[in-house]
Amino acid sequence: MAKRDDTLPTGRAKRASAGRAALAWVLLVLLALACENGGAPGVDLPTTTAAPPTMHPEWVPVQVVAVVDGDTIRVEAGGEVFPLRYIGIDAPELSGPYTSEEPLGPEAHQANRDLVEGKTVYLEKDVSETDRYGRLLRYVYLTDGIFVNAELLRLGYAQVTTFPPDVRYQSLFLEMQADAREAGRGLWSSSLAVCDCSRDLYACTDFETVDAARACHEVCVAAGVGDVHRLDENGDGQACEGMP
């Protein structure tokens, strides 16, 4: 489930640069207008029942115009549309030109749609403006205060992924992930057998289905320990290919 975080294709670099420049101008204007209406007090640690975003005027309101997958959306601000990647979480992939579908990819996509599709959301920046694809990196809130990044973790449709320096809510995210794991929700359900990646513990025969084996493999790869259980014998990225 690790994201493709390479540089932008050459043919898109110029457009991405122009988009980032336009984005910076739009967000500066919106932020200035917000601050005129109430200043910029410090942000308390948010939870899934946080105070409404009107309490935090430094958050920038935008409109969600598309939900790409479980952790990426497109938002409109000041007449411009920008891709946005949720900070601190990683959801399973959908099938696409450069990706294959991962277990619970469609379900994570639907959960994200249920949360934000067509809605006004509020954006909070950490340190980085964008990733190397030119996507905004943001924490996202609904008008009722739900912290979308954390909620997807709590529902079990994403797992924690940390890329310093954007680590403001890492502790909260780990708590939400632990809650999902203990409750057996989503990626942590027994049917998917999301597993212990600390050492080599499993063989393909330990899993009831190939989806369960691949979910375990993908969790460990995303956690940065690679194919610790040696489930991908030929190194093609597909675990336990001999299973029915």
Told to judge if 135 belongs to the known catalytic residues of this protein, a careful annotator would answer yes
Told to judge if 132 belongs to the known catalytic residues of this protein, a careful annotator would answer no
Measured at the CA of 46, the angle between CA 5 and CA 105, to 5 degrees, comes to 40
pLDDT tens digits for range 111-161? 999 999 999 999 999 999 999 999 999 999 999 989 999 999 999 999 999
Same domain, residue pair 120 and 204: no
Please pick, among 58, 102, 124, 135, the residue that the annotation labels catalytic.
135
Q: What is the number of other CB atoms lying within 10 angstroms of the CB of residue 178?
A: 14
Domain count, the chain: 2
Same domain, residue pair 39 and 141: yes
- The structure's pTM equals 0.63
Classify the C-alpha dihedral 41-42-44-46 as positive or negative.
positive
Same domain, residue pair 105 and 158: yes
Please pick, among 85, 138, 154, 214, the residue that the annotation labels catalytic.
85
**CATH code, domain with 62:** 2.40.50.90
Please pick, among 58, 93, 151, 218, the residue that the annotation labels catalytic.
93
Distance CA 196, CA 219 (A): 9
Predicted confidence (pLDDT) at residue 31 exceeds the cutoff of 70:
no
What is the predicted pLDDT for the residue at 121? 96
Position 3 in a domain: no
Q: Is 201 helix (H, G, I), strand (E, B) or coil?
A: coil
Same domain, residue pair 42 and 153: yes
